[in-house]
């Protein structure tokens, strides 16, 4: 065992001396996960405008004006449509939410000091709590405008009255009877306007008293379940993909190092030394396995602590072990086929990239068209990604985990047996 560990540590040392290998095993997968993750992430949440549908069932001047204000707001990217379409769009996840302005919206919107706060219906997936909060806040901000209008009107009215009272008092042409009449009437009216203005100043929002006209809008939330085909956090997709790229780097690195051992002639030193062939092969396999575990662990640490990807740790361990077995087997298999570093690197690269492409290391599995998903069954990469995703966002049960785990282990064991049988260590 000590000798195997020495073999492994030596390989790690060599791997770290090879800057390209380090890049493709450690740096590239991380960049891949981060770059693609941030591209996908920008689509749904983040700082960009929320994509929403608006349905105007009221068709009044006020409702139309409200939608215009909605469209003008930075927070929203509004698409005007009907109720059925709006619901479909939200359920399919194409839009974040829809607003419905029901009949009577305009009437309530106008009557600032009486009647009800205008109704507005928001349909959104209940899990999108952050968006829902942000959305309601933004709606309220727009709703306040209706008070502002009213307040500026009351203000103008008071001013107007003040000016009128003074004018009438100073005028010589107004008959005395009229002066007395208006002098009595106008201040009363002004007092009324003032009263309204003061009342407006003390409005508190957010109180959800039914029929409280002082609430800017009465938002009713309607749960609209998104028929989900993908996870919430885009990094939940790109981290497993990055892990696959890292694992591929390990596979190529160790397949090359095994062949290199032969071409360099150092394998001869190993064979002549008191270490069995099984130990030599096992040392390489162990090195490849441990390297995979290390790179995947690093990626998931970044995923957890920096990107906010959560996962089930015990299922993740199962997934990593299973894919480790699979790819160690493949490493042995390819190392046994090739005679030179170039050919082993080329062959392994070509195979893994192809498997990666059809297996979801580039295009996520869940967005693949059906025919492609069917082909992907033949790719070990697919099963590795599925196992990793099972531990992250697919919420696999242990039973469900078994499918990818068994397939991965079977591929790995068969490839390993074939590889160790065919590999000729002494063949320099």
Partner 1 sequence: MIIVKGLQKRYGSIQAVDHVSLEIPTGHIFGLLGPNGAGKSTSISIMTGLIDADGGSVELDGLEPKSMKARYNIGLVPQSIALYEELTALDNLAFFASLYSLTPDVKSSRIDWALQFVGLQDRANDRVSEFSGGMKRRLNLAASLLHDPDYIFMDEPTAGVDPQSRNKLFDNVMELKELGKTIIYTTHYMEEAQKLCDRVGIIDHGKLLALGTVNELLHQYGGDTKLSISSEKGVKSFSSANVSEDLTNALRDIDKVYDISMNRPDLEAVFLNLTGRQLRD
**Residues of the shown chain interacting with partner 1 in the complex, contacts defined by CB under 8 A:** 2-3, 6-7, 10, 13-14, 17-18, 264-266, 268-275, 426, 428
Minimum CB–partner distance for residue 245 and partner 1 (Å): 23
CB 286 within 8 A of CB 325: no
**Residues 304, 310: Cα–Cα separation, whole Å:** 6
Q: Residue 160 or 266: which CB sits closer to partner 1? A: 266
DSSP for 218-272, please give it.
EEEEEE------S-SSTHHHHHHHHHHHHHHHHHHHHHHHHHHHHHHSHHHHHHH
Q: Residue 274 or 369: which CB sits closer to partner 1? A: 274
Q: Residue 84 or 272: which CB sits closer to partner 1? A: 272
Number of neighbouring beta carbons within 10 Å of residue 230: 18
**Residues 258, 11: Cα–Cα separation, whole Å:** 9
Minimum CB–partner distance for residue 379 and partner 1 (Å): 33
Q: Residue 368 or 425: which CB sits closer to partner 1? A: 425
Number of neighbouring beta carbons within 10 Å of residue 97: 25
CA distances from 9 to 145, 250, 265, 284, 290 (A): 69, 14, 19, 10, 10
Minimum CB–partner distance for residue 127 and partner 1 (Å): 51
Minimum CB–partner distance for residue 275 and partner 1 (Å): 5
CB 244 within 8 A of CB 281: no
Minimum CB–partner distance for residue 20 and partner 1 (Å): 12
**Residues 277, 336: Cα–Cα separation, whole Å:** 14
Beta bridge partners of 78: 52
Q: Which among 144, 143, 87 has a CA at the least distance from the CA of 119?
A: 143
Q: Residue 310 or 340: which CB sits closer to partner 1? A: 340
Q: Residue 238 or 257: which CB sits closer to partner 1? A: 257
Minimum CB–partner distance for residue 346 and partner 1 (Å): 21
Q: Which two tokens stand for residue 374?
A: 């069917």
Q: Give the alpha-carbon dihedral of 157, 163, 164, 167, to 10 degrees.
A: 180
Minimum CB–partner distance for residue 5 and partner 1 (Å): 9
**Residues 419, 296: Cα–Cα separation, whole Å:** 24
Q: Residue 4 or 285: which CB sits closer to partner 1? A: 4
Minimum CB–partner distance for residue 330 and partner 1 (Å): 24
Q: Residue 11 or 224: which CB sits closer to partner 1? A: 11
Q: What angle do CA 400, 402, 403 make, to 5 degrees?
A: 80
Q: Residue 94 or 269: which CB sits closer to partner 1? A: 269
């Amino acid at each position: 065992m000590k000798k195997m560990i020495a073999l492994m540590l030596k390989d790690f040392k060599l791997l770290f001396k090879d800057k390209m290998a380090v890049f493709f095993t450690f740096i590239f997968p991380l960049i891949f996960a981060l770059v693609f993750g941030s591209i996908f992430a920008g689509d749904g949440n983040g700082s960009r405008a929320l994509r929403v549908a608006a349905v105007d069932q009221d068709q009044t001047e006020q409702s139309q004006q409200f939608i215009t204000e909605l469209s003008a707001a930075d927070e929203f990217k509004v698409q005007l449509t009907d109720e059925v379409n709006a619901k479909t769009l939200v359920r399919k996840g194409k839009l974040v939410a829809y607003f419905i302005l029901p009949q009577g919206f305009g009437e309530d919107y106008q009557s600032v000091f009486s009647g009800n706060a205008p109704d507005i219906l928001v349909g959104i997936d209940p899990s999108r709590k952050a968006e829902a909060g942000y959305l309601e806040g933004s709606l309220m901000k727009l709703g306040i405008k209706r008070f502002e209008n009213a307040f500026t009107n009351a203000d103008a009215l008071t001013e107007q009255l003040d000016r009128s009272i003074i004018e009438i008092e100073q005028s010589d042409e107004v008959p005395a009877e009229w002066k007395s009449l208006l002098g009595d009437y106008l201040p009363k009216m002004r007092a009324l306007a003032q009263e309204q203005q003061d009342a407006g100043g003390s409005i508190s929002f957010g109180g959800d008293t039914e029929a409280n006209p002082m609430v800017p809008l009465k938002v009713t939330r309607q749960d609209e379940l998104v028929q989900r085909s993908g996870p919430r956090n885009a990094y939940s997709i790109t981290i497993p993909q990055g892990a696959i790229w890292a694992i591929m780097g390990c596979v190529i690195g160790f397949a090359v190092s095994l062949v290199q051992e032969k071409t360099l002639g150092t394998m001869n030193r190993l064979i002549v030394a008191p270490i069995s062939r099984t130990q030599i092969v096992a040392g390489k396999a162990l090195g490849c396995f441990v390297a995979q575990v290390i790179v995947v662990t690093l990626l998931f640490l970044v995923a957890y602590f920096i990107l906010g990807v959560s996962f089930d740790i015990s299922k993740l361990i199962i997934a990593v072990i299973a894919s480790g077995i699979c790819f160690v087997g493949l490493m042995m298999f390819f190392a046994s086929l090739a005679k030179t570093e170039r050919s082993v690197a080329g062959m392994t690269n070509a195979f893994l990239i192809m498997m990666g492409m059809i297996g979801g290391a580039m295009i996520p599995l869940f967005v693949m068209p059906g025919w492609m998903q069917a082909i992907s069954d033949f790719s070990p990469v697919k099963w590795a990604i599925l196992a990793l995703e099972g531990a992250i966002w697919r919420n696999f049960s242990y039973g469900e985990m078994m499918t990818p785990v068994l397939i991965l282990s079977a591929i790995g064991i068969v490839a390993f047996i074939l590889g160790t049988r065919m590999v000729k260590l002494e063949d320099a």
